[in-house]
Structure formats: C-alpha cells, structure tokens
Structure 1
Amino acid sequence: MTGQEVLAAEGVTLAYGPTAVVHDVTLPVDEGGVGLIGESGSGKTTLARGLLGLLRPRSGVIRYGSRDLASLDRRGRAEFRRAVQPVFQDGSEALDPRMTAEASIAEALTTHHRMGRDERRGRVRDLLAAVGLDAALAGRRPHEMSGGQRQRVAIARALAVEPRLLVLDEPTSALDVTVQARILDLLEGLADERGLGYLLITHNLGVVGRLCRTSHVMFAGRIVESGPTRDLLTRPAHPYTLALRDAVPRLGGEPPRASGRTEAAPAGTGCPFRLRCPFAVDRCREEAPAPREVEGRNVACHRAEEVLTGLAPDAVPVPGAAPSPGAGPRQDDRGDAPDAPRQ
C-alpha cells in the first residue's frame, strides 16, 4: 500500500562534527512500506536519526508532511513524536531495565494521552495482545524476557501513541531466524490492519523483499538506486545493488564471490563505488554519476544499462576497480596493488 507522504529528506547532508556521513540524500517515506538497504557503515542509521529529529542536517530539509521539521513549534513537535515512532535494533537497549513491560508501555500512554489508571492498564493489555504477548508478561522486566518478547514490547510501546509511521532500524537482526519470522509476520499484519506505514532499515534483502514495495539502496552515505523493491532485487541497475544481491548465500548454489576491496573511493574523486566495481571505466574516476531515471528507477551509475542487461565489463578499467573474472591484478590510484580477496 502506498499513500500520503508522511516524512521526507530533501537534499539532506548529515555530519558528526566536521565529518559528513550522509551526502545530499533525498528520500520520501509515505504510508506504505519503504526499505532502506545497505551494509553496516553506509549511513542508514545516521539518516534515521535525522529523520527522527535527533540529528540536525548540515544542509537540506527534513519535512514532516509539508512542514520543515526544524521549524516546528512545541505543539508541532509533540504531534510529530506521536506520529513517527522508532523501533530500534535491540529491545534490551530500547527498554529501561528497571521498568516492567507494563510500566514501559504505560509511560508512553501517560506522555501522550490522558487516561485513568484502570483505562491505562486495560490499554496496555490490549497492546500486548496486539503484538502476540500474554497479559502475564506485563509484570516482567527486560532481563526476564526473551529477545523476541523484548522486541514485541518495544513495538507495543511504539504503537501505544497510535503512530502513522514506524522507523524500524534493523528490527530483527538481533533475533534468531524463527523469532525473526514471527516479528515480520507481526509487522506485516499491523500494516494491513492499522494502515501503518514504516521505513524499514536493514541489510537483509529478504526482509525488504517481503515487506516493502519501494526501496532505496545506500552506499557511502549516498542513495545509489531507488525503485520498486522487486525490480531492485531481480534486475539491479547499480553494481552495488548487484553485489548485495550476489552476496546472499543460496542453498545448493555457489558461495558468494569475494569483492576484494571493501572501502569507498575518496570523496570528490568520481564514483564512490568505483574501487569495488567491475563495470568501472575511466569516466567513473573522473565524474561522479548523478541520479537518473533508468527503466522505472533512479540510479546513480554511468553504466546502469550495461548492469541491467548483464553485459560483462568491457571498457578500459579504472585503476583499483574490482577485477572482472579472468582479469589480472590492477593498480589503484596510489600505485599499490589492491587488497587480495579474503578466502
């Protein structure tokens, strides 16, 4: 389901001190499911912090509806905090270890709603039931619950204020496979029942493939490909999206290929992915690719058409780019041999 735009980053750059981590990112989040995919260190969580109002942009604008998040008055900020709720990676870090599940959920209700003790207690029970937990769990503290139970309590706490949008930062990565499946079932059901939107931040392509109609791929703090999730996963148009897909182990298939280098190219020196890219040519070293529309998605790649068609890399390689199958060693921009692939 897609709907009205709730939250959006427009040309946003985010930094910690003098170091920019997210660069000129535009990302709309509507009332459907939107995925944000990338490796650890790609800037996903930093972008989430900006979208939640926890980190002010160095440049660009973050909008809640049609309003600049930075210009909201006290009433507007309270409305925003009700409408957009975070669910973090580990429920044990999101919940106060001194508080019971009931107290954690009731705290959110007390902050945003006026209700009596009995009404509040009944609402906590309803929320626990909504996330598939027994009311008897209400008196337990985080250390007395399993990882899956803690994550469900964290989701119940977020739902307490009846939000329009959840920002889910790797919500299943700390859980085992069986519990992950239950949490995904829960999120899918909540989206259908409540019309709830979500921004799902993950490195797990299977998760976005199941829950998100639209996805954005992030590398080195930049969005390199955006479009329908199914298209991104079945026919990637950016070499990085292709590398992410090919890195997923397949039962009975060949082991994932080593990519050699893991770092991004230095800022201001062309395409940041060129050191790892088997499609890279001289132009990639000299000119940073601007996002452009290619077959229904936006792609920041000079050679997106070749990636889509699956043609083997052909032109003169960029020094330091990942070698094509059968290619000999290459020199990088500093004249050093590239790192050997890990065995």
Structure 2
Amino acid sequence: MSEPVVLGAEAVTLAYGSTAVVHDVTLSVGEGGTGLIGESGSGKTTLARALLGLLRPRSGAVRYGPRGSDTADLASLDRKGWARFRGDVQPVFQDGSEALDPRMTVEASIGEALTTHHRMAGNARRERVTALLEDVGLEPALASRRPHQMSGGQRQRVAIARALAVEPRLLVLDEPTSALDVTVQARILDLLERLAGEHGLGYLLITHNLGVVDRLCRTSHVMFAGRVVESGPTTELLTRPAHPYTLALRDAVPRLGGEPPRPSGRTEAVPAETGCPFRLRCPLAVDACREEAPVARDLRGRMVACHRAEDVLAANEVPHAPRQ
C-alpha cells in the first residue's frame, strides 16, 4: 500500500525573472523520509521554497494533500486551506537562527507558534514549551535565553521544537546539519530519526550529504541543473547508480580507509544548453547526448533521465557500499 501524498510537485518550472532555474520537476513526498540530493546550485532550495508556498511556479503545480482528502493545488487554497497547510507542513532551515527572532526568548518564539496555531496561552503554553524543549533534548532553563546566547546545535534544536509545536505531518529540512560540526550533526540526526518515529512525521530532506540521505530516507531524487535526473529507492540509487551524475556524486565522497575519490569525467560547472545538460561533464556522452535531451523513463524500478542508463547500471551491478 502506497503512503498518502502530503506534498508534491507536478511538472513544476520555476524562474527568477526570465531565467528558469527549475525545469519540469515532478516528485511526491509521503508520510516517510524522502531525500532531495544535489550539489550547490542544482535548484534544491528553490524547489523547496515552492513546496513551502513561498514561490509561485511559472508553470505546473505544487499539490498538497490534507489528511483524508485528495491533493489540491496550493494556488487554489482559501484562507482556511492555507492555515491548515501551514500547520501540516513546517520548514527547518540550514541555520536555526533563521527561524528565530533574535529579539525573542526561546519561550516567546516557541510560544508564538502555539498561540497562533492552537490558541494556547498562560500556564498551558509554558508547560507545552517545557515539554517541547525536553522532547528535543534541551533543558527547560534555556527557555529564557535568546538565540545569540546558545550554540548552533541548541539553536537548531529550538528551531525543530518550534516546528513541532504546530504538530505537523511533514517537515521540509533544508540542509539541517550542514552548518554544524560533525559531532553535533550526529546528535541532530539521532534526534530527527527519533522524532520521526515517535511523532509519525514525514520529511523532505534536502542535502548534498549522501550519508545523511542513506540513513534517513527510503526514497530519493537527484537534481542536476534544475532537473530531477534520477529517482528511486535510496539504497538502490547509492549502491547501483543508473545516471552518471549520481555515480559522480557517490564516487566524490571519500571513505575512511578506502581508496581516494576518483574523478568521474570533466568538471565544467555550467550545464550544456542543448541536448543533455550533464553531457559536458559526462565521460559516457555520445552523439545522442548532444542532439537530444533525455526524458525520464522507468528502469528497474527507478526513473532515470539518461540515454546510457543501461550502461551505467550494468557497470555498477556489483553492490557498492554507500560512503560515509
């Protein structure tokens, strides 16, 4: 039985001015972990902003599925629909301070969400703030502090507590650990994994860290130059890539005690304007790649946009452990 779709993109194209930066992307996020992988500039955060209702697509639709209802275009929601959407879908940004007003204490910041969404006040609100802080592993005494009086890891936990205050169904996590040191990253990942299980949360995890995706996400989508080039079960994508870009991302990650990362073709940053956008960096490019942009197609249970996907997959038939 498939999981209910909470949020999705349907042939979404996004642009800044006259420049399209996300091209015809279709994906869905259910009540489970979904990864969105790609290097900086691939369009991940821009797509996330559209999924959160902060950007309007040039074409296509962002669809939201209220509990027990069919999905609806965000653009069609009325005021009541938007209020329900804001309660169901909450963001957690790269830097916890982005979600916190520097002038407000932790109690006021979390309490604001409780008042807005649950009309909670007084002792009930204070008790709920305390419970939320304890839920994310923080001492209740931190409630009187302001963001600048906390560490980066503490601010990120407060941001997560604030998101949980509205009892969401889905978190949109945009590089939630990349601004933290390795030890704190591990603690935040442990926290997210625990909270997802305890609260039944779904999440869209946006990251360039393949180890994080491998740990937390059942399915993943790989983005290059504003396009989804490969989608499928995360373990399959990372152990047997079918797109040269996914393979390059995997092989660029060093492993402790293993071989050094090996180059996967040329390294031009600018995507090709005609044919396959990845062809200037692809060691397998052929004439068809110059002449025609590949269309995503089903290949052994995944979707991949590559003329030579069968060749890439055949070369990776022997399982390759994801790099940590």
Q: Could you tell me whether the CA contact under 8 Å between 2:36 and 2:220 is conserved in 1?
A: yes
- The letter of the residue matching 2:18 is P
**Map of 2:195 onto structure 1:** 190
Q: 2:72 aligns with which of 50, 67, 70?
A: 67
Q: Look at both structures and tell me which one has the larger radius of gyration over its CA atoms.
A: 1
**Map of 1:166 onto structure 2:** 171
- Aligned-partner SS, 1:120: helix
Show CA shifts across 1:285-326 (max 9, x none).
001000011111000001011101118xxxxxxxxxxxxxxx
* Structure-1 separation of matches of 2:158 and 2:15: 32
State percent identity of aligned pairs: 79
* Structure-2 separation of matches of 1:96 and 1:2: 39
Q: Could you tell me whether the CA contact under 8 Å between 1:2 and 1:32 is conserved in 2?
A: no
CA shift at 1:257, angstroms? 2.9
Instruction: Indicate yes or no: 2:139 matched with 1:134.
Output: yes
**Map of 1:325 onto structure 2:** none
* Structure-1 separation of matches of 2:54 and 2:244: 32
- Aligned-partner SS, 1:240: helix
* Structure-2 separation of matches of 1:115 and 1:221: 41
* Structure-1 separation of matches of 2:98 and 2:30: 28
**Map of 2:217 onto structure 1:** 212
- Aligned-partner SS, 1:255: coil
- The letter of the residue matching 2:253 is V
Q: Could you tell me whether the CA contact under 8 Å between 2:272 and 2:280 is conserved in 1?
A: no
Q: How does 1:26-65 map to 2 (within 5 A)?
A: 26-65=26-65
Q: 1:262 aligns with which of 263, 268, 271?
A: 268
Q: Could you tell me whether the CA contact under 8 Å between 2:110 and 2:165 is conserved in 1?
A: yes
Show CA shifts across 1:94-117 (max 9, x none).
211111111110011111111231
* Structure-2 separation of matches of 1:213 and 1:297: 13
- Aligned-partner SS, 1:55: coil
**Map of 1:338 onto structure 2:** none
* Structure-1 separation of matches of 2:288 and 2:214: 33
Q: Could you tell me whether the CA contact under 8 Å between 1:224 and 1:301 is conserved in 2?
A: yes
Show CA shifts across 1:137-165 (max 9, x none).
11111111011000000000000000000
Q: Could you tell me whether the CA contact under 8 Å between 2:266 and 2:280 is conserved in 1?
A: no
Q: Could you tell me whether the CA contact under 8 Å between 1:167 and 1:198 is conserved in 2?
A: yes
Q: Could you tell me whether the CA contact under 8 Å between 1:31 and 1:196 is conserved in 2?
A: yes
4+ runs of 1 displaced by more than 4 Å? none
**Map of 2:9 onto structure 1:** 9
CA shift at 1:92, angstroms? 1.8
Q: 2:295 aligns with which of 279, 287, 290?
A: 290
* Structure-1 separation of matches of 2:291 and 2:177: 40
Show CA shifts across 1:2-26 (max 9, x none).
6210001000001111111100000
Show CA shifts across 1:31-74 (max 9, x none).
10000000000000000000000000000011011111011000
**Map of 1:305 onto structure 2:** 310
**Map of 1:148 onto structure 2:** 153
**Map of 1:19 onto structure 2:** 19
Greater CA deviation, 248-257 or 286-295?
248-257
TM-score w.r.t. the length of structure 1 is 0.89
Instruction: Indicate yes or no: 2:101 matched with 1:96.
Output: yes
Q: Could you tell me whether the CA contact under 8 Å between 2:232 and 2:303 is conserved in 1?
A: yes
- The letter of the residue matching 1:303 is R
Q: Could you tell me whether the CA contact under 8 Å between 2:225 and 2:271 is conserved in 1?
A: no
Q: 1:109 aligns with which of 108, 114, 125?
A: 114
**Map of 1:272 onto structure 2:** 277
Q: Could you tell me whether the CA contact under 8 Å between 1:88 and 1:94 is conserved in 2?
A: yes
Structure 1 gaps of 5+ residues are 312-343
* Structure-2 separation of matches of 1:304 and 1:257: 20
* Structure-1 separation of matches of 2:116 and 2:218: 33
- The letter of the residue matching 1:235 is R
* Structure-2 separation of matches of 1:107 and 1:2: 36
* Structure-1 separation of matches of 2:262 and 2:288: 25
Q: Could you tell me whether the CA contact under 8 Å between 1:37 and 1:216 is conserved in 2?
A: yes
Instruction: Indicate yes or no: 2:278 matched with 1:234.
Output: no
- Aligned-partner SS, 1:121: helix
- Aligned-partner SS, 2:39: coil
Q: Could you tell me whether the CA contact under 8 Å between 1:225 and 1:299 is conserved in 2?
A: yes
CA shift at 1:263, angstroms? 1.9
* Structure-1 separation of matches of 2:210 and 2:220: 10
- Aligned-partner SS, 1:21: strand
Q: Could you tell me whether the CA contact under 8 Å between 2:230 and 2:303 is conserved in 1?
A: yes
**Map of 2:322 onto structure 1:** none
**Map of 2:88 onto structure 1:** 83
**Map of 2:321 onto structure 1:** none
